[in-house]
Amino acid sequence: MLSPAPEEPLLLAELKPGRPHQFDWKSSCETWSVAFSPDGSWFAWSQGHCIVKLIPWPLEEQFIPKGFEAKSRSSKNDTKGRGSPKEKTLDCGQIVWGLAFSPWPSPPSRKLWARHHPQVPDVSCLILATGLNDGQIKIWEVQTGLLLLNLSGHQDVVRDLSFTPSGSLILVSASRDKTLRIWDLNKHGKQIQVLSGHLQWVYCCSISPDCSMLCSAAGEKSVFLWSMRSYTLIRKLEGHQSSVVSCDFSPDSALLVTASYDTNVIMWDPYTGERLRSLHHTQLNPPMDDSDVHVSSLRSVCFSPEGLYLATVADDRLLRIWALELKTPIAFAPMTNGLCCTFFPHGGVIATGTRDGHVQFWTAPRVLSSLKHLCRKALRSFLTTYQVLALPIPKKMKEFLTYRTF
């Protein structure tokens, strides 16, 4: 299923902000969020100073991992040919914390969107949501860079955003005001639900690919699982020893991973609440004293698009890549001041953002999934754990399908 000896991630490219202007002192330079559009045609980067860059992917026509040469260019360059997508700068007016691309809307949603926004061409239906420092959410049309909607409701920083993968244009936002809010962009961005219960800032939200569950992580030791059908709390997952700051579902919705300041990633079965395994982040070169006890605190975790790998970013200046069946990393890459990471939706590349406002692109393992894994992924896309356990099949097969064995 996996290559026996994956190569270390190589730096493919690095984007740096252009020369900053005289910004207001409240602005910051951190890249808090990076995102690829679901079809892989755009990359968005909150480069600090209230600016989001929208960049057509790939970065250059000849770019992509063949020679694996390290490349670098200023984000100010706009060298695309006439008729091809152009790099865009979105001035959000506030520090940008969260980014999320919509999926390409389904045909009914496109008709509704066209009815509510006749000025927007029907073909231009890919949108980007930006979560801001003042609690606002701005909705942008990607092809044109036009501002479409302002969503108001949160009372503090909007830290994370997530669209339902179905294309229904339902948006979930997570905020430092300790709530999550559900918005329907088909209804002029109407707020349809407020989810309360967290006692600390909400750092992260993630919707399962089958659109049945929502996970939220706050500055607490537990994470909340919500129903996306009834918007009610399903359960709390408890097991971390410090604040949970990042979460992600596997592509088949069968697994959930959470990352914490306690230096651990926990892999859960979201249907049963069972803790399947923990991935501990051990320092490669421990310090001589105990002055930096949180040096391996986690910042971000994400699944690879085929569901066989995880990527994590920690405060010990390392990007780690993990195989699901192993409890130690299979590859490392040195990175300074990492804050976030995400996989390219078609695999082969990981994007990371840093406190310096930079974005780095790394090679990621390319793998030909086994027939067993492809079958498991297909079945788990529509079968819950309980439905698998009820099947009249051998126990070992059930254990494999529920990720108890690999």
Percent of the chain predicted with pLDDT > 70 = 82
DSSP 373: H
Secondary structure class of 341 (helix, strand, coil): strand
Sheet-wide strand order for 137-141: 96-101, 127-132, 137-141, 146-151
Q: Are 172 and 188 in contact (CB under 8 A)?
A: no
Is 255 within 8 Å of 403 (Cβ atoms)?
A: yes
Segments making up each domain of the chain, as ranges: 11-60+84-367, 370-405
Q: What does the pLDDT look like over 155-173, one tens digit per residue?
A: 999 999 999 999 889 999 9
Helix H or strand E encompassing 39: none
Neighbour count for residue 32 (Cβ, 10 Å) = 21
Q: Write out pLDDT tens, residues 185-241.
A: 989 899 999 999 999 999 999 999 999 999 999 989 999 999 999 999 999 999 999
Q: What's the mean pLDDT in 306-322?
A: 93
Residue type, 100: A
Lowest mean pLDDT segment, chosen from 154-168, 278-292, 295-309, 367-381: 278-292
Query: CATH number of the domain at 11-60+84-367, out of 1.10.10.10, 2.130.10.10, 3.40.630.20, 3.30.565.10?
Result: 2.130.10.10
The predicted structure's pLDDT at residue 110 = 53
DSSP 325: T
Q: Is the pLDDT reported for residue 175 higher than 90? A: yes
**Separation CA 372–CA 356 (nearest Å):** 42
Q: Is the pLDDT of residue 46 over 70?
A: yes
Residue 400 phi, psi (nearest 5): -70, -45
Among the ranges given (30-44, 70-84, 291-305), the one the predictor scored with the smallest mean pLDDT: 70-84
Would the pTM of this model clear 0.85, i.e. be above it?
Answer: yes
Q: Kindly list the strands in the beta sheet with 71-74, ordered across the sheet, starting from the edge strand earlier in the chain.
A: 71-74, 11-16, 359-363, 349-354, 338-343
- Give mean pLDDT, residues 60-78: 43
Residue 388 has pLDDT above 90, yes or no: yes
Answer yes or no: is pLDDT of 65 > 70.
Answer: no
pLDDT for res 399: 96
Asked if pLDDT for residue 366 goes beyond 50, the answer is yes
The answer on pLDDT for 43 being more than 60 is yes
Answer yes or no: is pLDDT of 6 > 70: no
Mean of pLDDT values over 338-356: 93
Residue environment code for 245-259, b if the CB has 16+ CB neighbours within 10 A, otherwise e: bbbbbbbbbbbbbbb
Q: Which residue has the higher pLDDT, 178 or 31?
A: 178
Per residue in 250-290, pLDDT (tens digit) is 999 999 999 999 999 999 999 999 999 999 988 766 554 44
- What is d(CA 180, CA 158) in angstroms, rounded to the nearest whole number? 9
What residues contact 298, with CB distance under 8 A and at least 6 apart?
245, 246, 259, 260, 261, 263, 264, 265, 281, 312, 313, 314, 315
Number of alpha helices (DSSP H) and beta strands (DSSP E) in the chain: 4, 29
Please give the pLDDT value at position 3.
45
Model pLDDT, residue 30: 83
Of the candidates 80, 81, 89, 92, the residue with the CA atom closest to the CA atom of residue 17: 89
Q: Tell me the pLDDT of the chain averaged across its residues.
A: 85
pLDDT at 230: 96
